[in-house]
Every structure is written in C-alpha cells, then in structure tokens.
Amino acid sequence: MADQEKNKNNIENRWTWLDSGVAAPKGFFATGVQAGIKYQNKYDVALIYSDRMAQAAGVFTRNKVKAHPLVLTQKHLEDGQAQAVVVNSGNANACVGEAGDQAALAMACETAKCLGLKTEDVLVTSTGVIGVEMPVVRVVSGIQAAAAEIKKLVGTNSSLLEAGVQADTDSKAKAETKVKSEVDNEAKTGSEAEARALVHEHGTLAARAIMTTDTTLKQVAGELGCKSGVIRVGAMAKGSGMIHPNMGTMLGFITTDAAVDHAELKDLLVQAVDESFNMVTVDGDTSTNDMVVILANGASGVTPEGEELEAFKELVSEICVKLAQEIARDGEGATKLIEVKVLGAESVDGARQIAKAICGSSLVKAAIFGEDANWGRILAAAGYSGADFNPDLVDIYLGDVIVASEGRGLNFSEEKAKEVLEQKEIVITVNLNSGQDSATAWGCDLTHEYVTINGKYRT
Amino acid sequence: MADQEKNKNNIENRWTWLDSGVAAPKGFFATGVQAGIKYQNKYDVALIYSDRMAQAAGVFTRNKVKAHPLVLTQKHLEDGQAQAVVVNSGNANACVGEAGDQAALAMACETAKCLGLKTEDVLVTSTGVIGVEMPVVRVVSGIQAAAAEIKKLVGTNSSLLEAGVQADTDSKAKAETKVKSEVDNEAKTGSEAEARALVHEHGTLAARAIMTTDTTLKQVAGELGCKSGVIRVGAMAKGSGMIHPNMGTMLGFITTDAAVDHAELKDLLVQAVDESFNMVTVDGDTSTNDMVVILANGASGVTPEGEELEAFKELVSEICVKLAQEIARDGEGATKLIEVKVLGAESVDGARQIAKAICGSSLVKAAIFGEDANWGRILAAAGYSGADFNPDLVDIYLGDVIVASEGRGLNFSEEKAKEVLEQKEIVITVNLNSGQDSATAWGCDLTHEYVTINGKYRT
C-alpha cells in the first residue's frame, strides 16, 4: 500500500515504457512500404489499422495554407471516429489545386477498399515537397502492398488477439519498471512471441516510412495498469526539420486500446499537444501539413475514470513530450537539444510565449551552438516575446549555473558555464519570480549544417 | 513649368541626394572619436550637435527589457526638444542595474557641460554588449574629445553658417539631379569649401563611431527645394546585425533644418519608421536598445506646409527606407538583399505581417542563399503570418518570373528563376489579389557566416 501511494506521487512509476510504437495497443496494426514516391529504396507509405472502429480526434496546423489531405482528414474526423490512417512521405500534396483533393480522396478510397472500410473512416496525411502533383499510381500501389501486409499480420495474430496479447515489450525496459503489465504474467508460446515481434517490426516500418529529413526514427509506447486491466498507448512522429522534401512537417500519430470518447480524446489531445508539439521550435516555420491524431479503439476493455483517467491523460502528454524532445533533438543540422523552462510566471500562456521566444531566437540558438554563455540574448528574447513581465525580477540559469539575477548579469564562472554548454542537452531556466505558472519549450542549436541542408534541397 | 509638373509627379525628382549624413542640414555638426570602450583604434563615441534648440521626437524598441540610456532619452524627449545626441558603441549599457542609469546620466551631463547645454536637452544612446558595466571614465574622456572637435567645427563655420552654407554635396549626384540647391548658386571661396568638407568628414566619423558588426557605413542626406528656401535632411544608422557586441541594435538618427513642430515630427517619424526600420528583419530579434530619433532645428528658415510638407515627409520616409535597405543588405553574414513586396492586400497591417513573415522565414532565407526557387516556403510563411487571406488567390513572383498562380505551382523555367536568384538583390512579389493595400519588407539570406559570427562572439 505504501508503494502504491508512492506510485501515485511519482508519475514515472505509474506506467511502463514499451519498446514499441503505434502497434503496441491491442487491435492496432501498422506497416510501411517502399512505393518510390520520390526516392527508390525509401519507405514512404505507412498504414495504421485498427481491427475495430476507433474513436478519433486530431489537431491541425494553424497555417492559412492547408494541404489537401489535411482538409479531407478534418472532414473524416467530423463524426469522431476512424479505423485507419494512411500516410505518405516524399510529397506534401499541397498547393496543387483540384488534383490534390482528388489524390487525397484516392488514397482514402484505396485504403478503404483494401481493408474493407468506409472511405470516411480513413484519415490521410502527406509530408514532402509542396506544389508538385502526387504520383497517385505509385501511392495506390504502395497502399495495396501495405494493406496486404496488414491483412497478413491480422490473420497471424487473430488467435493472440483474442488472448489479449500483442506487441512485444523491451526486456531491459521491463527490468527497470515498477509496474508489471498483465502481458508478463501470461504464458507465451514460441509462435506467439514471433507474431508479436512481427507486429512490432512492422509498426517500426510505419515509423520509418513517415521520416523525411529526420535522422532518427521516432516512436514510443507505454502501458498503464488499471484496476480492470492494462491500457496501452503507442505513438510515432516525424520532425519539423524542414527541407528535402521542401516543407517537412510535424506529424504525430497516437493509438490506444483504452475506451475513451472522441470528445474526451479531443480535449486531452489539445492539452497534450499544447505542452509538447506546440512547444517545439526548430526554425519557427509552421507547415501546411502539421497534424497530430489519436485513435482509441477500446480493445483493452478498460474505460479509464477518475484517477486512472488522469494517469491516462498524463501518459498521453508524456508520450507527446518525449516525441517533441526527439523532434527538437533531431532538428535539421542540430548538435544540441535546448530545453527552456520558464518558472514563476503569472500565466501559463505568458510562460509559453517566453519559453518559445527564447527557444526560437536565432541569436540564442547560434550562441548555444558556439557554447557561449550569452545570457543577454536570453533576456532580450524574453523581452520581445510579447508576454508581460518585470525584467528587474528575472533570474537566468544555464544548467545549474546562475548567470543573471534580478535582470542583471552576475560575475559567474565562465568555466562552469562552459561545462554546461559543452553538453548535448542544455537546460536554460528563466525564473520570472512573479507567479506560480510555468512552461517548457524545446529547440535545437542553429548550425552551419542547417544552412547547408536548407540552402540545397531542391537541386 | 512643364518640368515642374513632371517633378511633382515623380518623387525621385523632388529632391537632390547629397553625399553626406547628419551634418548636412544647416546648424548641425557631428563627429566621432576613439574612446577605447571595448576595442582600441575603433571610433566608438559619436556626438551630434545643433547650434540652436531643435524640436525632437523618437521611436523606441518594444522590447520589455529596455537599456538604461533609452529610458533616460525617453524622459529627455518629454518636452519635445533636444540639442545634442551622444552615442557610444561597444557597450549597450543594458541590464546592469543602477550603475547603468548613472552611466547614462553621466553621459548626458558631460555632453551638456562641454557644449553649454541643459542636461535634459541631451539624448543618450548605447549599443554593444549587454550586462557589462559601462567604462564611464573612458566614455567621458571620449565625450570631451568629441565636444572639443564640435566646438572647433562650429567656430570655423560660424561665418559660413550665417551665409547659410554648410555640408558639401556630391558632384556626381549633383550632375544627375534636376533640382538645383541654393548652395550651387553661391560663390565659394577656398576656405569655405574646406570648412564644408571638414564638416562632412566629421559627420562621417559620427556614422563610423556607431558601427558595431556593420561592415558598411550607413548615412544618407537629401535636400528639398521649397518656395522660401532649401530644406535638408540628413541621417545615419547602424544595423541590426546582432553580435560582437552581444546584442547589436538598430539605431537611426535623423537631422533636418526644416522648422517642424515636435508633434508633427513624431507623427511623420512613426509613419516613416513603420515603412522602413520596422520592415527590416535580419534574424527576428528585437534589441533592448533600438531607437530612431529626429531633430529639426529650423535653421533653414523654411516651415514646410501643404505639398511641401508632404514632400518633406516623403523625403524623411525615403531616407529611412534607404537606411533600412542598407541595414538588411549588411545583415550579419548576408550575401543577398531580399525585398518582399506584398500587393493586393485587404489592409496595410496584413500586408506588413505577410511581408515580414516571408522575409523572416529561416527556410526562405536559406533557400535564397542556396538560390533555390522554393516558392512553397514563401506561401507557407504567408500562411503562418497571422494575416487573413485566401491562399487560392495568391500569385508569387521571383523577380519577373511567376512561379505560382492562384496558390498553385506553375511549370516555370528553372533557368530563368535561377538567373533571378543569382543576383545580389532578390525581389519576391506576392500578390494576394484581394484588395488595394501593399507593403514592402527587407531582409537578407541566412548563411553559414551568420552562424559563425553568432556562435563566436564573446570568446
């Protein structure tokens, strides 16, 4: 009982991290294939499928210029449900007129046909070059190949599914965890383990297929022990590194086998995204295709309520934060992850504005690249963020080193600051000393490589 | 008469450009000296002096964090008049607490003492590293040396001043001009010419003394023929290139011998700055010290009214635009000047938002550096600018080459686009086709050199 109390107070202990992604939750299958949309030998079509109807919600770019598939997906989400998501990289399907609407619809139709679904239950997302017509024939072939793989996976796993077992979990992660999942307690046959491994591998291929200039595959999954069973949440994302193709995009896909209503999903997704994806800045540019969607198929049989619902929300938020950090760390040309914590703010909005302004300042980013303890730029960025605060109360820390207090420079140890700045992860803490609210933003340094990548892409 | 009519319709012909700066208008003297504030052999204290009280107005940074001299200058401008401006580079005098207020006041007091003025009639500006206390002794010595030079200039020129003659004008510029200035029609003795040349040279030293990472000296002057005499306007500026020292700053100083009330000055300055300095973006960062001030001493004896007042306002605006372009062209590490024209907007504010978002987009800037006709990034930047427009109506031009129409990519000639992008000045035109308003913004490309400069400064 004492341990349980402890767990409640320690978020990290409430759930177990799994070495998996969108295919971790029960009833979800995913894969990626090579359709040759822009490059050969590149996974570029991903398919996520739920074996039953799922409640669904999404948040979308605020850019006035919206890609064609994004508009279709918004329409298909109006009824709050979906059963599949099809994604391609290599072409953003944006700014090409009617042909773009037709291509997005063709992708939904083909996916529906192959998987025996209604077109309106398929969500469509694209990322890649803007203004170039989608090679529809190639994408359709890719969808067919991906759907065939999915059907094989579903077939192989149907017996396991009924036993409530699916994606594998990482043995190392398990050893470190406090909460044991139900899966651990079940007997596993060789074929079950193989089938689970296959589902996991194919899920990873989906995460691979949505990558563009990303240098790392981004997926994460966790499971939460509830009184009536185990809930799993899986996710994959791609980064906002922006070129090659033209306008990269921040995409996030979250799956869960919890039973959660789409209105509740929407609320928790908005909150999670506001604290995570919306707090990432690589270069300040917002794409025409940015989108995060969540699907909850209820296959776990667990409807989280009360404290369990709160824990579920926290897990989703934490998953989004992990992906956001990965996106920032993998910003184009980045060598360092920058985390900016703003404390003591009068409002969360103000704290977010300041954290993002600091994280997005080219001067701060270049100083971090150059490992220069240039706190004046940090304070100046806060100053132009648009948020209200009293500069004379501000303390600034680089890691543990306080470099400015009450808005003024301190005679800090340049060596200690240098030690902090030599790390791969730099935490900048700004205490406004004016209130109780806080926010965290993530970004990366500005490097020569960023300029090279973004100066070259199309040729 | 026909020629006069023509001149009225052609702004360029209304005035004559002079090869001079803040010392061009009657009664104004300026100089720069080496005070050793941060570096040896660097001009770092500038002084502008009017031989009579001037009407004055200023616009200031919107950054919440304001440098100490900026606060003092705002106070000294409350009565709408000033007679001298003292500027130092090498130290921003920002974020150092009470010592900063004292240093700013000391600069005003010393200037006033040396020139026989009231302290409240001296404006103070600093640019340089943030958070380091000002070496007041060195600055005060610099002010004394500068004031001594100014007094010599005033003495030598007193007879000339009475004849209404002062700064020299560029002979080449004269040959090209349509409007002859009164100066041309006066007999010049050798000593007069020498004295004028000296005033001009010292004015140029002032422009040199305010430079930080600027690679080019930025000054401009023009004269406008009015019925009752000639008005001159002179100006100097420094760029927003941001490092070395720490937080560079955009500073502009405008002088005129027109007789214009400070309320009128304030209005026309706000408008001119909104169309020029405020439309420049090098890296999106706003400094703690940004400031533009205008002084009008009435020494010309001309009070512009009606059409002449309009022409005067246009001259001030045009001078600000020229300086803004120079600032953009001289952005840190820049190799190209980018001019973004937004046409067909429903409001000027909207057009400005869009023009600035495009000019400030790291992706657009890097694409221009890479000479890549990446119009998708231009449209996407417009999309996230926050301004309202219909993406399906937008046409985009690179130079004369139309690359997108009605929000969609065209099959344009990559060679022709490349020809445009190989130039040193790139004009991007975005026609929203929704209204009659327009705006222009200036920026520069994002280069490896920018990253190098901004990663290195302090060590």
Contacts with A453 from chain B: Cβ below 8 Å: 366
**pLDDT value of position A264:** 97
| Position A206 pLDDT exceeds 50 | yes
A362 with B64: Cβ contact below 8 A = no
| Position B179 pLDDT exceeds 50 | no
**pLDDT value of position A339:** 95
Contacts with B409 from chain A: Cβ below 8 Å: 95-96, 130-132
Contacts with A372 from chain B: Cβ below 8 Å: 455-459
Residue of B nearest to A240 (CA): B363
Contact B84, B47 (CB under 8 A): yes
Mean pLDDT of A210-214: 87
Predicted confidence (pLDDT) per residue in A247-262, tens digit: 357 899 999 999 999 9
Tokens at B351, concatenated: 């057009």
**Total CB pairs under 8 A between chain A and B:** 222
Interface test with A, best of B65, B98, B368, B456 (most A CBs within 10 A): B65
- Sign, CA dihedral B327-B166-B117-B204, equals positive
Least confident of A130-134, A426-430, B66-70, B430-434: A130-134
| Position B161 pLDDT exceeds 80 | no
| Position B349 pLDDT exceeds 50 | yes
Q: What strands, in cross-sheet order, belong to the sheet with A425-431? A: A280-281, A437-444, A337-345, A425-431, A395-398, A401-405, A408-409
Predicted confidence (pLDDT) per residue in A348-357, tens digit: 999 999 999 8
Q: What is the 3-state secondary structure (H, E, C) of chain A?
A: CHHHHHHHHCHHHCEEEECCCCCCCCCEEEEEECCCCCCCCCCCEEEEEEEEEEEEEEEECCCCCCCHHHHHHHHHCCCCEEEEEEEEEEECCCCCCHHHHHHHHHHHHHHHHHHCCCHHHEEEEEEEECCCCCCHHHHHHHHHHHHHHHHHHHHHHHHHHHHCCCCCCCHHHHHHCCCCCHHHHCCCCHHHHHHHHHHHHHHHHHHHHCCCCCCCCEEEEEEEEECCEEEEEEEEEECCCCCCCCECCCEEEEEECCCCCHHHHHHHHHHHHHCCHHHEECCCCCCCCCEEEEEECCCCCCCCCCHHHHHHHHHHHHHHHHHHHHHHHCCCCCCCEEEEEEEEECCHHHHHHHHHHHHHCHHHHHHHHCCCCCHHHHHHHHHCCCCCCCHHHCEEEECCEEEEECCEECCCCHHHHHHHHCCCEEEEEEECCCCCEEEEEEEECCCHHHHHHHHHCCC
Choose between B170 and A18: higher pLDDT: A18
Mean pLDDT of B20-28: 97
Contacts with A367 from chain B: Cβ below 8 Å: 454-455, 457
Choose between A9 and B147: higher pLDDT: B147
Residue of B nearest to A354 (CA): B64
> A 69-98 residues with CB below 8 A of B?
92, 94-97
pLDDT above 90: percentage of residues in chain B: 62
| Position A12 pLDDT exceeds 60 | no
pLDDT above 70: percentage of residues in chain B: 85
Contacts with B458 from chain A: Cβ below 8 Å: 372-374
| Position A347 pLDDT exceeds 50 | yes
Predicted confidence (pLDDT) per residue in B390-402, tens digit: 999 999 999 999 9
Contact B111, B84 (CB under 8 A): yes
> A 268-307 residues with CB below 8 A of B?
283-288
**pLDDT value of position A293:** 97
**Is B249 considered catalytic here?**
yes
pTM of the predicted model, to two decimals? Answer: 0.80
pLDDT above 90: percentage of residues in chain A: 62
Binning pLDDT at 50, 70 and 90, where does residue B440 land? very high
Query: Active-site residue among B111, B249, B256, B286?
Result: B249
**pLDDT value of position B338:** 93
Q: How far is the alpha carbon of B300 from chain A, nearest alpha carbon, in Å?
A: 40
Binning pLDDT at 50, 70 and 90, where does residue B190 land? low
Query: Active-site residue among A212, A249, A255, A281?
Result: A249
**pLDDT value of position B447:** 81
**pLDDT value of position B164:** 43
Mean pLDDT of B33-51: 95
**pLDDT value of position B303:** 97
**pLDDT value of position B285:** 65
The whole-angstrom separation of Cα A272 and Cα B23 is 59
Phi, psi of B387 (to 5 degrees): -85, 150
Q: What is the 3-state secondary structure (H, E, C) of chain B?
A: CHHHHHHHHCHHHHEEEECCCCCCCCCEEEEEECCCCCCCCCCCEEEEEEEEEEEEEEEECCCCCCCHHHHHHHHHCCCCEEEEEEEEEEECCCCCCHHHHHHHHHHHHHHHHHHCCCHHHEEEEEEEECCCCCCHHHHHHHHHHHHHHHHHHHHHHHHHHHCCCCCCCCHHHHHHCCCCCHHHHCCCCHHHHHHHHHHHHHHHHHHHHCCCCCCCCEEEEEEEEECCEEEEEEEEEECCCCCCCCECCCEEEEEECCCCCHHHHHHHHHHHHHCCHHHEECCCCCCCCCEEEEEECCCCCCCCCHHHHHHHHHHHHHHHHHHHHHHHHCCCCCCCEEEEEEEEECCHHHHHHHHHHHHHCHHHHHHHHCCCCCHHHHHHHHHCCCCCCCHHHCEEEECCEEEEECCEECCCCHHHHHHHHCCCEEEEEEECCCCCEEEEEEEECCCHHHHHHHHHCCC
Q: Give me chain B's average pLDDT, please.
A: 86
| Position A9 pLDDT exceeds 70 | no
Interface test with B, best of A363, A375, A393 (most B CBs within 10 A): A363
Does residue B247 sit at the A interface (CB-CB below 8 Å)? yes
Mean pLDDT of A248-277: 93
Binning pLDDT at 50, 70 and 90, where does residue B283 land? low
Does residue A459 sit at the B interface (CB-CB below 8 Å)? yes
A284 with B374: Cβ contact below 8 A = no
| Position B123 pLDDT exceeds 90 | yes
